[in-house]
């Protein structure tokens, strides 16, 4: 059975990519994922937000101590603001070492990841260093929460294109964009983004959402892992966009078993990213996902992924309206509820 696929010009032994997470944050973990059968991995993201918090925390601590406005670094006294650049440099160096070490120890494609949640064009320069470290590709996990009441929707969309343009001018390795479904004009936006020169789009990223602890009156994380029901959103849009984009498509969120993996391939996905199901079942679960795919292919008489990829996409459906229906009609017809 041939499970090999091409994604962003990279040769993958199978379509299963381990998404950016704590599972991909060390060489040891990446080697384990390769041994278990992963087709590729996306390294744990380097977060511009984390670096900003680290600097802010440092400044607050120094202020409480009544520390001077200078600190010593490499034998020189530097302005405290310079520490911001020092933090960025240290984080970037750690990340480039992670890429270098992974490339020395594994043979599967290793993709770097930058989490972009602020319009920091200066971060674009980091992309070149990640490429020089040996990354096979770069994934930009991009989302700008529409909570800035001074910024219009068009302003937000413009940021995406600005960053993409700068990154593509900077690197020659394949670049993918991991986006959210929160665009008013999602279909057209996916299509336009796909034709900017990027090689892949990942549908969709998953976010931190706040919850309330009503006893401690504190904000806490909610629903850390995705659930199988989350599959519905990405499956719909994968089906609708298959054959309509200028780049490869990867699915993400809600893939918890081999059936979900198969469904996305039938919808037209070139690759599928998983994370939550491995946290919940362990990395051994990679084998179960791939074995389930192989058994299904054998039973259906398929020899390779291309034999059925996109078979159930909207473009190949006898009734395309099924993919765009949004309201329940007779779903609950005939069901009696207790009074």
273-295 average pLDDT score: 97
How far apart CA 201 and CA 152 sit, in angstroms, is: 24
Q: Which residue in 203, 254, 261 sits closest to 232, CA to CA? A: 254
Domain contains 205: yes
Give the model confidence (pLDDT) of 87-132 as tens digits: 667 778 899 999 999 999 999 999 999 987 655 555 677 889 999 9
278-289 average pLDDT score: 97
307-315 average pLDDT score: 96
How far apart CA 27 and CA 139 sit, in angstroms, is: 19
User: In sequence order, what are the beta bridge partners of 210?
Assistant: 221
Domain contains 75: no
pLDDT at 124: 75
Lowest mean pLDDT among 73-77, 241-245, 326-330: 73-77
308-335 average pLDDT score: 76
Q: Exposed (0-12), middle (13-18) or buried (19+): which is 279, by Cβ within 10 Å?
A: middle
Q: Exposed (0-12), middle (13-18) or buried (19+): which is 119, by Cβ within 10 Å?
A: middle
Segments forming the whole domain that contains residue 115: 5-40+94-324
Examine the pLDDT at 209 and tell me if it is beyond 80: no
- Number of domains within the chain: 1
How far apart CA 19 and CA 43 sit, in angstroms, is: 7
Examine the pLDDT at 198 and tell me if it is beyond 80: yes
Domain contains 80: no
How far apart CA 250 and CA 333 sit, in angstroms, is: 36
Domain contains 77: no
Backbone φ and ψ for 324, nearest 5 degrees, come out as -115, 0
Question: Left, alpha or beta for 171 (phi > 0: left; psi -120 to 50: alpha)?
Answer: beta
273-285 average pLDDT score: 97
Domain contains 51: no
Supply the CATH number for residue 136's domain.
Answer: 3.20.20.70
Give the model confidence (pLDDT) of 39-85 as tens digits: 999 999 886 555 444 434 444 454 555 554 444 444 544 444 444 45
pLDDT at 63: 52
pLDDT at 334: 53
Domain contains 45: no
Domain contains 66: no
Domain contains 130: yes
User: In sequence order, what are the beta bridge partners of 138?
Assistant: 112, 175
301-307 average pLDDT score: 98
Give the model confidence (pLDDT) of 22-32 as tens digits: 999 999 999 99
Q: Give the DSSP per-residue string, 198-216.
A: -SEEEE------EEEETTT
How far apart CA 231 and CA 233 sit, in angstroms, is: 6
pLDDT at 201: 98
pTM of the model: 0.84
């Amino acid at each position: 059975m041939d499970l090999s696929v091409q994604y962003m010009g990279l040769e993958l032994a199978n379509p299963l990519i381990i998404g950016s997470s704590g599972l991909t944050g060390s060489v040891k973990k990446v080697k384990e994922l390769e041994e278990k059968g992963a087709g590729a991995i996306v390294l744990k993201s380097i977060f511009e937000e984390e670096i900003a918090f680290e600097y802010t925390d440092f400044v607050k601590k120094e202020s409480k101590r009544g520390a001077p406005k200078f600190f010593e670094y490499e034998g020189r006294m530097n302005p405290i603001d310079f520490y911001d650049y020092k933090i960025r440099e240290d984080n970037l160096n750690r990340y480039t070492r992670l890429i270098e070490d992974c490339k020395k120890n594994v043979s599967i494609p290793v993709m770097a990841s930058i989490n972009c949640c602020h319009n920091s064009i200066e971060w674009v320069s980091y992309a070149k260093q990640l490429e020089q470290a040996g990354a096979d590709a770069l994934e930009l996990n991009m989302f700008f929460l529409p909570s800035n009441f001074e910024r219009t929707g068009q302003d937000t969309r413009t940021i995406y294109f600005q960053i993409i343009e700068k990154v593509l001018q900077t690197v020659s390795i394949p670049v993918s964009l991991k986006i959210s479904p929160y665009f008013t004009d999602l279909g057209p936006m996916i299509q336009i983004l796909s034709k900017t020169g990027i090689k892949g789009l990942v549908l969709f990223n998953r976010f931190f959402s706040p919850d309330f602890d009503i006893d401690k009156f504190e904000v806490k994380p909610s629903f850390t892992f995705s659930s199988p029901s989350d599959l519905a959103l990405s499956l719909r849009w994968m089906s609708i966009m298959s054959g309509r984009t200028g780049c490869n498509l990867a699915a993400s969120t809600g893939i918890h078993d081999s059936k979900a993996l198969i469904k996305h391939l039938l919808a037209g996905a070139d690759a599928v990213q998983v994370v939550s199901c491995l946290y919940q079942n362990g990395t051994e679960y990679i084998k179960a996902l791939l074995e389930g795919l192989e058994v299904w292919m054998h039973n259906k008489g398929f020899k390779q992924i291309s034999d059925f990829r996109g078979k159930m996409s909207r473009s190949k459906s006898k009734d395309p309206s099924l993919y765009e229906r949004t309201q329940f009609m007779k779903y609950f017809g005939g069901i009696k509820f207790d009074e």
